[in-house]
Amino acid sequence: MTGTTVEVHAGPELLAQAVATRLLVRIIDAQTERGEASVVLTGGRIAAAVHRAVRELPARDAVDWSRVDVWWGDERFLPAGDPERNETQAREALLDALPQLRVHAMPASDGPDGADPVAAAARYAAELVAAGPAGAALPHFDVLMLGVGEDGHVASLFPGHPVADGNGPVSAVRDSPKPPPVRITLTRDAISTAEEVWLIASGSGKAEAVGMALGGGPVRVPAAEVAGIRRTRWLLDGAAAAEVMPGLR
């Protein structure tokens, strides 16, 4: 990792616009450098706002979407099309408007592995291997976006939950402290293979977690334990940044 930056925007709408603009620029740069781009999406309200902003920005037409791979950092293990699935929300907000995309959704609970999240996690891990270079467990991730929870969780890595210490690139999550209880997630090590990791938070409910993650205190939340190889970006609105020390902004 070469650096961590903290960017604070006045409100959630401006934050979503800024993240969407930055994402399009990063995709275009990746396609210029490598001929393609690979993005890992997150879920939640701010993610949906970012997806809608990408759809509406004129700069989206500068991207060759047929050369973009879309992955997920985690997923609620629910039936396909369930409105609580991150994939469903992303399709409604953006992906269905870009049919050229190479979309790699995490398996659903009514998929080929049925209600077995361990088998579903293994299936996604195999898909990641197949998309990467020979001998690698993961493809190249240009940008991996993460929402930050009120408890400091990212993806489905929760404070004190054993999956936070799991091995391998993809894990099943049982008894999640946040419903639904069964999920699939990239592990901490897999997340930290991304070239850039973006942690996105909006609202006063996230302020304490963001402050703990950036403050370097004795309590280590999962949001403090992931980083990009080249850069880690914290993208916040003013309310979420309320407990960030001024020198870090």
Predicted structure pTM score: 0.95
Query: Tell me, what's the pLDDT at 216?
Result: 73
What local confidence, expressed as pLDDT, does residue 1 receive? 44
Give me the average pLDDT of each 10-residue run along the chain (249 residues).
87 98 98 97 96 97 98 98 98 97 98 96 96 92 98 95 75 94 96 97 97 84 96 97 78
Angle between helices 45-56 and 12-34 (to 10 degrees): 60
Is residue 79 within 8 Å of 113, Cβ to Cβ?
no
* Residue 76 covered by a domain: yes
Q: Would you say residue 226 lies in a domain? A: no
Residue 208 corresponds to which amino acid? E
Query: Is 227 a member of any domain?
Result: no
Q: Which domain holds residue 75?
A: 14-140+148-209
What's the pLDDT tens digit per position in 110-157?
999 999 999 999 999 999 999 999 888 899 999 999 999 999 999 999
User: How confident is the model at residue 168, as a pLDDT?
Assistant: 82
230 occurs within a structural domain: no
Give pLDDT, residue 199: 98
- On whether the CB atoms of residues 131 and 69 are closer than 8 A, the answer is yes
Split into its structural domains, the chain has a count of 1
Calpha distance 61→95 (Å, rounded): 14
- Domain containing residue 47: CATH number: 3.40.50.1360
